[in-house]
Amino acid sequence: MTDTGSNAVLAAREHHIARGVASAHPIIIDRAAGSYVWDAEGNKYLDFVGGIGVLNVGHNHPAVVDAIKKQIDSFTHICFQVGAYQPYVELARRLNTLVGGGEPYKSVFLTTGAEAVENAIKIARSHTGRSGVIAFRGGFHGRTLLGISLTGFSQPYKQNFGPFAPDIHHAIYPNEYHGVSTEQALASLQAIFDTQILPERVAAIILEPVLGDGGFVAAPPVFMQALRALTTRHGIVLICDEIQTGFGRTGKMFGFQHSDIQPDLITVAKSLAGGIPLSGVVGKAAIMDAPSPGGLGGTYGGNPLGCAAGLAVLSIFENEDLLARSQAIGRQLLSGFETFKARYDGIGDVRTLGAMAAVEFVSDRSSRTPDSDTAQKVIEQARAQGLLLIKCGIHRNIVRFLCPLNTSEIDVQEALGMFERALAASL
């Protein structure tokens, strides 16, 4: 019989799995529920990674499990290009209202986040008849060739995978802690227009309202508003990549809602379907309808299990008031982080937007030099305490917190206690 103990599976993993697929933690997960996971030896962990922002409603939420089970009993796959089904259409209807408010919006469903990004760019190019795309340094948009072309960091995502898709240009993302103002970020866009591509050749500007993998850095509302004005003036499609910021992570349903702007398109994935692979593009109807029939889709896009799970996720948001919980978790984490920052010089910055929370480690507070070794130590010590976390930032010196939004106050307190012990052991 195959040995299913952690050490045996870890050894087999080493042997059979390509090393390009890394795991942040050397553990083998056996089961999960709510905000917890258990490894093969029965050790229990508070999961503040949540499948990298996929489990905003927690592991195995009974309403999600129920919806999936019911859907399995009806059918698991049709392919929307063959025949339509109600959960796909209903999920689109609900997202169109959530994103578009009163305006006519339409949706298309795909499978992964990167695929949603790819389709958003296709739709923008089809609508404008232009090819250029502007993304941002420090942005992350997935691991497909177009995804890494848009992504703004070299290691590990771009190195040795080129050449990249052409006509993609990278502007500078505002970052207050590192001294990049909204004006400087906007000037970098102007520099692209001056030196690389005229605005009337640009199909789309794509950005995350809060950098995810790039370090949990929120774009100031004035920057988002300036981008909205600029894109409107030049007929450029404004795409908000809400794959990590979506579904309540930032305390609002979507990250763009902090800036009081209306994007043309948004990409959604991750927490959309509570763990079932499902992604989508939601956007203004006139833009979404640009590609001709057959130009969008994919065999598995909008899989019925994912759509049924997605509908359950949206109901959970209403029933459990998860946006309020997200804000409360953010406040609770920030107050703990601030105490830790006062105590440890190795912490350069702490920040939250809703429950999108991060602690940035530096080797020197005045120069703000990134300290990835300490971030790694803290992650390992936190795991030893029973708390799972992962890093982010182009220098991998930032620890991010992505707990389920229905994590209880007691569990958040417990996580803060574990984090503090991890800091004490590492700094």
Ligand X SMILES: Cc1ncc(COP(=O)(O)O)c(C=O)c1O
Segment 98 to 117, residues that bind ligand X, using CB under 6 A: 112-114, 117
Shortest distance, position 135 Cβ to ligand X, whole Å: 11
Give residue 102's region: left, alpha or beta (phi > 0; psi -120 to 50): alpha
Structure-block tokens of residue 168: 């993609």
- The 3-state secondary structure of 117-176 reads HHHHHHHHHHHHCCCEEEEECCCCCCCCHHHHHHCCCCCCCCCCCCCCCCCEEEECCCEH
Shortest distance, position 269 Cβ to ligand X, whole Å: 5
Shortest distance, position 41 Cβ to ligand X, whole Å: 29
End-to-end Cα, the chain, rounded Å: 44
Long-range pairs, 194-200, Cβ under 8 A, ≥24:
196/169, 197/132, 197/167, 197/169, 199/230, 199/234, 199/236, 200/130, 200/234, 200/235
Does the protein bind ligand X through residue 272 (CB under 6 A)? no
168-206: string of b/e by CB count within 10 Å (b at 16+)? bbbbbbbbeeeebebeebbebbeebbeeebebeebbbbb
One-letter identity of residue 37:
V
Quote the DSSP letter at residue 273: G
Of residues 114 and 236, the one with the C-beta less far from ligand X: 114
Shortest distance, position 243 Cβ to ligand X, whole Å: 4
Of residues 130 and 141, the one with the C-beta less far from ligand X: 141
> Which positions from 383 to 422 touch ligand X by CB under 6 A, shown as an x/- string?
----------------------------------------
Structure-block tokens of residue 300: 């598995």
> Which positions from 230 to 259 touch ligand X by CB under 6 A, shown as an x/- string?
-----------x-xx---------------
Segment 48 to 77, residues that bind ligand X, using CB under 6 A: 52
Q: Which stretch binds ligand X (CB under 6 A): 55-63, 69-77, 139-147, 409-417?
A: 139-147
Shortest distance, position 356 Cβ to ligand X, whole Å: 11
Shortest distance, position 339 Cβ to ligand X, whole Å: 29
Structure-block tokens of residue 341: 């920052």
Shortest distance, position 406 Cβ to ligand X, whole Å: 21
Does the protein bind ligand X through residue 212 (CB under 6 A)? yes
Q: Give residue for tokens 């592991």.
A: 59
Does the protein bind ligand X through residue 173 (CB under 6 A)? no
Q: With the CA atoms of 126, 132, 134 and 139 taken in that order, what torsion angle do they form, in degrees rounded to the nearest 10?
A: 70
Does the protein bind ligand X through residue 215 (CB under 6 A)? no
Shortest distance, position 115 Cβ to ligand X, whole Å: 7
Judged by DSSP in three states, 330 sits in helix
Residue whose Cβ sits closest to ligand X: 113
Does the protein bind ligand X through residue 213 (CB under 6 A)? yes
Of residues 182 and 244, the one with the C-beta less far from ligand X: 244
Does the protein bind ligand X through residue 140 (CB under 6 A)? yes
| Parallel, antiparallel or unpaired: strands 29-33 and 36-39 | antiparallel
Of residues 125 and 270, the one with the C-beta less far from ligand X: 270
How far, in Å, CA of 90 to CA of 137, rounded? Answer: 36
Does the protein bind ligand X through residue 216 (CB under 6 A)? no
Q: With contact defined as beta carbons under 8 Å apart, do 401 and 215 qualify?
A: no
Q: How many residues bind ligand X (CB under 6 A)?
A: 15
Q: Which residues sit at the interface with ligand X, rule CB under 6 A?
A: 52, 112-114, 117, 140-142, 208, 212-213, 241, 243-244, 269
